[in-house]
Amino acid sequence: MKQSHFEARHQAEWRAFSESLEALEKGRKTTSGISDFPAAYRRLCQHLALARSRGYSSHSVDYLEHLAQRGHQQLYRHRSPLAGRLLGFVLGGFPRLVLEEWRYVVAASLLFLSLLGMAALVLAFPELIYSLVSTTQVEQMEAMYDPAARRLGEFGTRGSGDDWVMFGYYVMNNIGIAFQTFAGGLLFGLGTLFYLLFNGLMIGAIAGHLTGIGYHQPFWSFVIGHGAFELTAITLAGAAGLKMGAALIAPGRFTRGEALRIAASRAVRLIAGATLMLLIAAFVEAYWSSMTFTSPQVKYAVGALLWLLVGLYFTVCGRGRHAPE
């Protein structure tokens, strides 16, 4: 069936379901003529599954998915405890969402991976580092990853009892970067593009410089562990921002406000999952990455294992039936 015929046949039913949702969300009884809300919700989910399987436009699929999410919340708001919903999101909803939004994830990854090109350029032309990073910042980075440092990735010295302070610092810093990247999508995606490229180029320049001066072992053994969570999370924040920017640029048959609201329902869940990953990254960075008594080989092995686990999490947990969270 053509998309236009499909929409024309069911538009009235979707509109009635939307009106019923608005009444329920405002605490009123439904007035749209839907007497059996669970049955109407199941029919909407069937329509959503059909739209996905037939490859209808993303605007139509997103519209139905937005209604399904709101319906799911109304149907289960008194049945599903917060802890259960959070667990369901972590174990299935979040990785499924990432796989469904793979186009934006790939686009954000390509932009962020500008760090590899910049690292190669700085290795080839060492003076290039100073076009992006000030002399003072370069000196600070060299001190942070000096092979003789007692703790890696930080200034000065501290005791292990101060790890929680660094944990808090990493949380604030990393989540701040992720939310900048995410919120930049409201500028028609331009802000997200800027932050992905800027952070990618900065990280690449620093990585290339430290590798070039012989500090490669402390630097790479430091970043490989928490990088699995941190770099992935920033990329997902970028994907969320790009999705909102795309909704503003090409809203389709919706107004820009409606298109943004529909896109934001998924983008916000992406940034929520990314935030959880950044909390894990901050913990690993504060309590594991900065250690120097562990050999670099052990850190490389643990880091490779963490990257593998992150990859398996999205590929394995992301498979399964599509259902609103």
CB 105 within 8 A of CB 232: no
308 and 195 both lie in a single domain: yes
Residues in the chain: 325
Q: Give domain status of residue 221, yes or no.
A: yes
Name the helix (H) or strand (E) containing 181: helix 163-183
Q: Give domain status of residue 126, yes or no.
A: yes
Q: Which stretches of the chain drop beneath a pLDDT of 70?
A: 28-35, 77-82, 153-162, 320-325
How many structural domains comprise the chain?
2
Q: Give domain status of residue 91, yes or no.
A: no
**Looking at residue 157, what is its pLDDT?**
46
165 and 34 both lie in a single domain: no
126 and 66 both lie in a single domain: no
What is d(CA 262, CA 173) in angstroms, rounded to the nearest whole number? 29
127 and 72 both lie in a single domain: no
CB 258 within 8 A of CB 251: yes
Domain that holds residue 17: 3-80
Q: What tens digit of pLDDT does each residue of 102-151 get?
A: 999 999 999 999 999 999 999 999 999 999 999 999 999 999 898 887 77
Closest CA to 321 of 53, 64, 22: 53
Q: What tens digit of pLDDT does each residue of 248-283 get?
A: 999 988 899 989 999 999 999 999 999 999 999 999
Q: Give domain status of residue 160, yes or no.
A: yes
Closest CA to 281 of 118, 180, 166, 113: 166
Q: Which of 34, 64, 80 is the last residue of a domain?
A: 80
Residue 45, both tokens: 């989910």
160 and 210 both lie in a single domain: yes
Burial of 170 (0-12, 13-18, 19+ CB in 10 A): buried
238 and 130 both lie in a single domain: yes
Q: Give domain status of residue 176, yes or no.
A: yes
**Looking at residue 34, what is its pLDDT?**
55
Its pTM stands at 0.77
